[in-house]
Amino acid sequence: MESFTDIRSMNMEELTAAVTAAGEKKFRAKQIYGWLHQKLIRTGDEMKNVPASCRQTILKDHPLYGVTEVERYVSKIDGTTKFLFELHDGNIIESVLMKYRHGNSVCISSQAGCRMGCRFCASTLLGLERNLYPSEMLDQIYAIQRATGERVSHIVVMGTGEPFDNFDALCRMIELVSDENGLNISRRNITVSTCGLVPKIYAFADTYPQVTLAISLHAPNDAMRKELMPVANRYSMKELMEAAAYYVEKTGRRITFEYSLVKDVNDRKEHAEMLAALVKGLNCHINLIPVNPVKERDFRQSEQNHIQAFLHILEKHHIQVTVRREMGRDISAACGQLRKGYKERSGNG
């Protein structure tokens, strides 16, 4: 596992080592950790009970990275709020707050950009800028909690980026956010979505069996999946489904498959039948997502009657399936469109 040196990415062990290496008392580590992960401070000066000299020594070698809000869009329909955040190096990322009856859920980005190349996705159009640090994933949650004053209870890693392409940082983020000395968010309330990096699915099931896994499937066979997702050239459907079965067996938990319905591409009745056969016997839930049109691509959303027919076929096969409720429709801008739009407006697109 990679170790991290920016202060908000460090676990208690690393922080304690850094504090003692700087000649400071061990208990300072605990104080600093509390300021960072429970009081959710933005600047080092806010650590009131830590002497300035101590703060400065530690922060010199271990900078405090976070996110700064640049824009916010609030849905008039359901209160869903999209945030554009700037990172310390000027990169822009987006996060979404969704309010449900069961609590507040934040969708976070794991990378600035993405290199997976899925054909229908806006996040990948400009490629990968860089991985996010654990601190930058965490601070999306912290910043939203600071800004709204509301407790975040659920996290979904479904924003820009492929979380399993930034695996160690993802794991550290989960470790810190579920820490009882941090926000103490239950691992069962965390969902990670992957386009299907097979070896990492095994590693994840072994490391974080309590976390919910979602796999972006989007096709019922290899040929169609290759058309939509370049990652399908690296891992076959067979390998992917074996990994999914391993997760279910290892964790005893249900796995989620995301299936974005694209008009005339993957939304026909025969595709629903193939999909049903593919997941037969596996403890899973299928989340049908009417594809969100991206202006750079010519994919269109399936018609309502096709979505309903697709749904009914899966139901007929006794597969647990739902059609994703569109949140914040009026502020739409799906997966990476907000970030891309901002970059274009500000001349960096």
Do the Cβ atoms of 331 and 75 come closer than 8 Å? yes
Give first-to-last CA distance, the chain, whole Å. Answer: 34
Candidate list 24, 94, 129, 162, residue with the active-site label: 94
Residue count of the chain: 349
Q: Enumerate residues 308-337 that contact ligand SAH by CB under 6 A.
A: 334-335
103-107 and 320-323 as β-strands: parallel, antiparallel, unpaired? unpaired
Positive or negative: CA dihedral 211, 212, 214, 215: positive
Q: Which of 292, 310, 319, 333 binds ligand SAH (CB under 6 A)?
A: 292
Q: How far is the CB of 168 from ligand SAH (least distance, A)?
A: 16
Positive or negative: CA dihedral 227, 291, 167, 124: positive
Q: Enumerate residues 59-118 that contact ligand SAH by CB under 6 A.
A: 118
Q: How far is the CB of 334 from ligand SAH (least distance, A)?
A: 5
Rounded-to-integer distance, Cα 174 and Cα 155, Å: 10
The interface region with ligand SAH, picked from 48-56, 193-201, 267-275, 306-314 by CB under 6 A, is: 193-201
Q: Binding of ligand SAH at residue 171 (CB under 6 A)?
A: no
Rounded-to-integer distance, Cα 152 and Cα 159, Å: 16
Backbone angles phi, psi at 31, to 5 degrees: -60, -50
- Asked if 335 is an active-site residue, the reply is yes
Q: Binding of ligand SAH at residue 120 (CB under 6 A)?
A: yes
Q: Binding of ligand SAH at residue 307 (CB under 6 A)?
A: no
Q: How far is the CB of 187 from ligand SAH (least distance, A)?
A: 18
Q: Which of 75, 216, 256, 302 binds ligand SAH (CB under 6 A)?
A: 216
| Residues in a beta bridge with 86 | 68, 92
Rounded-to-integer distance, Cα 37 and Cα 202, Å: 29
Q: How far is the CB of 62 from ligand SAH (least distance, A)?
A: 29
DSSP state of 235: S
- Asked if 94 is an active-site residue, the reply is yes
Q: Which of 44, 162, 278, 279 binds ligand SAH (CB under 6 A)?
A: 162
Q: Which of 6, 94, 136, 258 binds ligand SAH (CB under 6 A)?
A: 258
Do the Cβ atoms of 66 and 8 come closer than 8 Å? yes
For the annotated catalytic residues, the residue numbers are 94, 335
Where do contacts with ligand SAH occur on this chain (CB under 6 A)?
Answer: 118, 120-121, 158, 162, 193-195, 216, 258, 260, 289, 291-292, 294, 334-335
